[in-house]
Structure 1
Amino acid sequence: MKNYKAIGKIGEGTFSEVMKMQSLRDGNYYACKQMKQRFESIEQVNNLREIQALRRLHPHPNILTLHEVVFDRKSGSLALICELMDMNIYELIRGRRHPLSEKKIRYYMYQLCKSLDHMHRNGIFHRDVKPENILIKQDVLKLGDFGSCRSVYSKQPYTEYISTRWYRAPECLLTDGFYTYKMDLWSAGCVFYEIASLQPLFPGANELDQISKIHDVIGTPAQKTLTKFKQSRAMSFDFPFKKGSGIPLLTTNLSPQCLSLLHSMVAYDPDERITARQALQHPYFQEQRAAEKQALASRRKACFPEHPVAAEALRHGWQTSKEARKQKQSLKQEEDHPKRQGPAYIMELPKLKLSGVTKLSSYSSPTLHSVFGSGTNGKAPVLRPLKCVGANKKTDLQKDLKPALKQCRLPTIERKGGEY
């Protein structure tokens, strides 16, 4: 920590306190999360879930960036140096008399859903999504504080008392730790309503009151949902039937699409609850998707500008090279198969008249066939050495051959008019 100078305290939690620090190397300001726990070794530090999660999720525009990990082996102190944000969502809406515009709410929620989608697709769920852990800087939203995160592939049951009570999903309240990444969507839905109305959706005083407030708004769940919860609960429970008043419309500037997405995020049954990927495709975010697509097209155009003159020259060069390739190919074909001058129709070649050419009589060549053996059984013939003899020593060569070999004669070759 010799490379940093403390500026002031930002906040404090159960397991850490956050300080504003200035780097003595580059002069930039950072948020330093000083852990209250003491660590024994660098291996214990590297196994910390928060550090592993921030490293795995980096880089993403809606996930807090971890710049440096500072560990003092002697004292066992650990500090995480992260980017400094302006405020969190709670500080943004605290004390406001009028809600944010729906355009601003939509913009923030789209970024929150993008952070959840990126996190879940990388096998991590947060387990403590709440306004205090959602940070903002110049209208850019980033999810932070991954101290409670878990792997989506880790074995259940998980810790029961994990997320902050007001944002705790029903499956976290009614089961012995049998919940999934869908709990983050419930918490995000509660944050969604709180940003829009400036009031918490389910402000329970304790766990029983929390369930009661959920039932007051949403109603008691279907029996099949309760049956699923009871299968993973040591104690049984039954609730009196409540229809539910519905999500209170404390503000009139919410569109039907906004309410549709909100209801999908706070569905009682986690199996019926929307995912972050599905939320990003909701009609409520149509404007954000179009703007994102247009921004991507603009960046591509900036990286690959279109110059009509250059494009025309390139296209002309391509056509020229294409014609050159065609011409080269045709020349090569002519070299391989030269064209012969002649009539374009079929004609019979004239017969050659050669003087002194007589009809060949039958000619035997026992010498040639005697080398291969009989070959009558379809087997490969056996080669035998051949003695070099003159043409006038035909009789001597035949004497050298074994008498058991059968002599064969070649068929007669006839030549007519000088053509074979």
Structure 2
Amino acid sequence: MERYKAINEVGEGTFGTVWRAINKQTGETVAIKKLKREYHTWEECINTREVKSLRRMTHPNIVKLKEVIKENNTLYFVFEYMECNLYQLMKDRARLFSEAEIRNWCFQVLKGLAYIHQQGYFHRDLKPENLLVSKDAIKIADFGLARENDSQPPFTEYVSTRWYRAPEVLLKSPTYSSAVDMWAMGAIMAELFTLRPLFPGSSEADEMYKICSVIGTPTESEWADGVKLASVIINYELPQMKGVHLSALVPTASEEAINLMTLLCSWDPSKRPTALEALQHPFFRSCFHKIPPSPRFKTKNCNLPKMAAGKQEHPPPPARI
């Protein structure tokens, strides 16, 4: 760590703090994450979830882990430095982003997600704070909660900031999959259009209420597993609500954007598109030439039935928790 000079703290999370620093030898600016818990052996260090996952991943839309340092039982991760995160870009912004900007960011994030899922992992903590931006590039960061697809259940209950948590996690399903990342992606995409969270619940029960108020209460035919989870696993009665068409809440989004967000925020995880399928949605038509061909992919029918667009008053964006 003597090779680095800390400049200022840029973030703090559940597992550690992040500092902007300079490599004294090269002059390069880096981000250094200092973990809170102690590590007594090198084997402990290299077996942390974040190191195990990031060691296997090299992709332009995933933040690069440059070095792992253990010093006096403290573990440090040295990452490439990014200027800010997506939440910081949104929070003080007076003007909405253009759809072209949103398309570019979402396309890059989905490419990163497709790679992560192909490597056998899912992120589990996708949210604006974990999407880092520098100039025109956006990269996925913080793999502290990442899991391998073949991990044995039961999984951890607390996954991701509440506003981006998939319904199957809120209903305490003992198993879930990479589809939780796709739900989060739908919520983030809507937030980019409006600069306010789509499902700003103040508790887990309120989060379910907010989701039902937007997309409507699931029926047995729509998501039998979820209805069963609510009644059997947590003895929770789903609020009966009709929901609204997303175009009423995200009025500046194109029909194709609304369609993709609707698919991503499907109650049933099996009905959400994969990251690779989402990349080939008509919303990204102008980006199609940038996607490597996938012989396994079949284009989904994206013609969803129209719903009546009812009016809904938007409260001011709530404070983040």
When normalised by structure 1's length, the TM-score is 0.67
Q: Deviations over 1:186-213 (max 9, x none)?
A: 0011110011110100000000000000
Residue 41 of structure 1 aligns with which residue?
41
Q: Deviations over 1:327-349 (max 9, x none)?
A: xxxxxxxxxxxxxxxxxxxxxxx
Structure 2 SS opposite 1:111: helix
The answer to whether the aligner puts 1:91 opposite 2:88 as a matched pair is yes
Structure 2 SS opposite 1:11: strand
Structure 1 SS opposite 2:115: helix
CA distance in 2, matches of 1:185, 1:78: 31
Corresponding pairs, count: 290
CA distance in 1, matches of 2:247, 2:280: 25
Structure 2 SS opposite 1:264: helix
Residue 70 of structure 2 aligns with which residue?
71
CA distance in 2, matches of 1:220, 1:9: 43
Q: Deviations over 1:9-61 (max 9, x none)?
A: 11111210000111012110100000011001000001011011111112x10
- 1:284 Cα deviation from its structure 2 partner: 0.8
Greater relative contact order structure (CA < 8 Å, 6+ sep): 2
CA distance in 1, matches of 2:199, 2:259: 18
- 1:80 Cα deviation from its structure 2 partner: 0.2
CA distance in 2, matches of 1:201, 1:76: 41
Asked if the contact 2:209/2:239 (under 8 Å) is kept, the reply is: no
Residue 55 of structure 2 aligns with which residue?
55
The answer to whether the aligner puts 1:261 opposite 2:260 as a matched pair is yes
CA distance in 2, matches of 1:164, 1:48: 21
Residue 397 of structure 1 aligns with which residue?
none
Q: How does 1:300-319 map to 2 (within 5 A)?
A: none
Asked if the contact 2:11/2:17 (under 8 Å) is kept, the reply is: yes
- 1:253 Cα deviation from its structure 2 partner: 3.1
Judged with a 3 Å threshold, the aligned counterparts in structure 2 of structure 1 residues 245 and 231 are, in CA distance, closer, same or farther, namely closer
Which of 170, 174, 178 is equivalent to 2:171? 174
Residue 24 of structure 1 aligns with which residue?
24
- 1:180 Cα deviation from its structure 2 partner: 1.1
How much identity, in percent, do the aligned residues show?
A: 39
CA distance in 1, matches of 2:247, 2:163: 16
CA distance in 2, matches of 1:159, 1:225: 26
- Residue type of the alignment partner of 2:15: F
Judged with a 3 Å threshold, the aligned counterparts in structure 2 of structure 1 residues 249 and 8 are, in CA distance, closer, same or farther, namely same
The answer to whether the aligner puts 1:289 opposite 2:288 as a matched pair is yes
- 1:227 Cα deviation from its structure 2 partner: 3.5
CA distance in 2, matches of 1:251, 1:127: 25
Which of 193, 197, 208 is equivalent to 1:196? 193
- Residue type of the alignment partner of 1:168: R
Residue 309 of structure 2 aligns with which residue?
none
CA distance in 2, matches of 1:174, 1:226: 12
What RMSD in Å do the two structures reach over aligned CA positions? 1.7
CA distance in 2, matches of 1:137, 1:100: 16
Structure 1 SS opposite 2:233: coil
Q: How does 1:60-209 map to 2 (within 5 A)?
A: 60-72=59-71, 75-209=72-206
- 1:177 Cα deviation from its structure 2 partner: 3.0
Structure 1 SS opposite 2:56: helix
- 1:248 Cα deviation from its structure 2 partner: 5.3
CA distance in 2, matches of 1:266, 1:64: 26
CA distance in 2, matches of 1:158, 1:17: 25
CA distance in 1, matches of 2:244, 2:222: 20
Q: Deviations over 1:90-116 (max 9, x none)?
A: 011112122111111100000011011
Structure 1 SS opposite 2:246: coil
Structure 1: gaps of 5 or more residues: 294-420
- 1:237 Cα deviation from its structure 2 partner: 3.3
Residue 4 of structure 1 aligns with which residue?
4
Q: How does 1:198-237 map to 2 (within 5 A)?
A: 198-224=195-221, 227-229=224-226, 230=228, 234-237=233-236
CA distance in 1, matches of 2:235, 2:223: 10
CA distance in 2, matches of 1:203, 1:251: 15
Asked if the contact 2:171/2:229 (under 8 Å) is kept, the reply is: no
When Rg is computed on C-alpha atoms for both structures, the one with the higher figure is: 1
CA distance in 1, matches of 2:274, 2:191: 20
Q: How does 1:335-350 map to 2 (within 5 A)?
A: none
CA distance in 2, matches of 1:176, 1:278: 25
Residue 299 of structure 1 aligns with which residue?
none
CA distance in 2, matches of 1:248, 1:207: 25
Structure 2 SS opposite 1:142: strand
Q: Deviations over 1:302-342 (max 9, x none)?
A: xxxxxxxxxxxxxxxxxxxxxxxxxxxxxxxxxxxxxxxxx
